[in-house]
Amino acid sequence: MTDDPLFQPLTLPNGAVLKNRLAKAAMEENLADADHAPGERLWRLYDTWAKGGAGLIVTGNVMVDGRAMTGPGGVVVENRKHLAALRRWSQAARSQGAQCWMQINHPGRQMRANLRQPALAPSAVPVELGRFSKMFAMPREMTEDDIRDVLRRHVETAVIAQEAGFSGVEVHAAHGYLLSQFLSPLANRRRDAWGGSLENRTRLLFDIVRGVRDHVSKDFCVAVKINSADFQRGGFDQDDALHLVKGLNGLAVDVVEISGGNYESPAMQGRTGDDRTLAREAYFLEFAQQVTAIARMPVMLTGGIRRKAVAEQAIDAGISIVGMATALALRPDLPEAWQCGQTVEVAAPSVEWRSKPLASLAARSIVENQIHRVSRGKRPRRGFSPFLALLAGLLRGGRQTRKYVAWASSQEQEGRRHEHA
């Protein structure tokens, strides 16, 4: 048994055990096959991460509704059509003894207009990104039936994840996606039971967590990812987040993951929309320490961690699990390297352009290009040009968007045929 705190096992509230305290946090991969199922490239990518030594692997967000996508190449799990492919995915991720949790998500208003699908949101409040705002669809306010459908879909996707061999799910309620929108008074301006007070704004998330927990086995993990804050004036703030954690305490949640920000204020990339300064690494550590004081479940911290000393600092501060995303895109074997005593640091891509939205997109494109290289069996490459990475990402995104639009149209036609059969 090692004395290194990063490589101590962790027993979760439901009895499941993580072999160490390092997690591959979720990233948007856009690597689904033509039918929006996991294929060879995702299997290879997750096998690589499994061999890298993390104790927990969280998938990139899996969509609970094929009409609502965070990106055009995302995996969709609405039914059991691709159960065999999902099993191959979970087997690859768990091949070296890691837990693998499927992150389940709905984008809400953060859905690109060129996907040609109606966007749903708590209220008809568009994404505000200045001259880039038109990239996102104008959302319509969800009806009661829409809300119930989203709840049902999260539960159904979680049940399928368990059948497919995943050891848990993570409900995504951060980064400005749908459940995060319900939590935010900026995005949620409803005057019914789903809006207004914080109790109402947390209702959908809590109902989803209860629904998932009621329909999966006790040894299947249920985690929730939340923002420490939206980092927007008047938005979801740290007091709200602490209240939210207190509510999750009573819902048999196995891990709460702390992150922050959204598309308008990408704090998860070290930038905010309200001019606050974040730490250079472990962006949300100070707040996560406040959470550990009240949380009955282990706390996972994600955001900007790239050095072993910083990961150890988080564990020493009471954090149970250290999540890394960009670092493991650039160096998939980082946990193994640290366990072998190597002093390895990963430099995150830094894009200092005048346009913050473009800089953010370029940084994301660099990371995504590295992920795509690994999915083809290649090693990450140093020295990516932000401009070339952005261009490659835009070209790839254009191809995927055209394929998605055609796929969505075929799904709609198939649905109509079933209705009239």
Asked if the structure places residue 89 within a domain, the reply is: yes
Distances (CA, A) of 304 to 24, 308, 325: 13, 12, 8
Asked if the structure places residue 226 within a domain, the reply is: yes
Kindly state the tokens that stand for 129: 């990104």
**Distance in angstroms (rounded) separating the CA atoms of residues 40 and 52:** 18
Q: pLDDT: is 303 or 97 the higher one?
A: 97
Res 271: pLDDT: 45
Summarize pLDDT for 349-408 with one digit per residue, the tens.
888 888 877 887 898 899 999 999 999 999 998 877 899 999 999 999 999 999 999 999
Asked if the structure places residue 380 within a domain, the reply is: no
Per-residue pLDDT for 18 more than 90? yes
Is residue 307 within 8 Å of residue 42, measured between CB atoms? Answer: no
Per-residue pLDDT for 269 more than 70? no
Asked if the structure places residue 337 within a domain, the reply is: yes
Asked if the structure places residue 93 within a domain, the reply is: yes
Asked if the structure places residue 274 within a domain, the reply is: yes
CATH of the domain at 154: 3.20.20.70
Summarize pLDDT for 96-152 with one digit per residue, the tens.
999 999 999 999 999 999 999 999 999 999 888 788 788 898 999 999 999 999 999
Q: How many independent structural domains does the chain possess?
A: 1
Q: Would you give the DSSP letter of residue 293?
A: T
Summarize pLDDT for 172-215 with one digit per residue, the tens.
999 889 999 999 999 999 999 999 999 999 999 999 999 999 99
Burial class (CB in 10 A: 0-12, 13-18, 19+), 312: middle
Mean pLDDT within 280-286: 64
Asked if the structure places residue 373 within a domain, the reply is: no
Secondary structure (DSSP) of 71-97:
STT--B-SSSTTHHHHHHHHHHHTTTS
Res 344: pLDDT: 86
Summarize pLDDT for 34-83 with one digit per residue, the tens.
999 999 999 999 999 999 999 999 999 999 999 999 999 999 999 999 99
Asked if the structure places residue 164 within a domain, the reply is: yes
Give the domain range for residue 65. Answer: 5-352
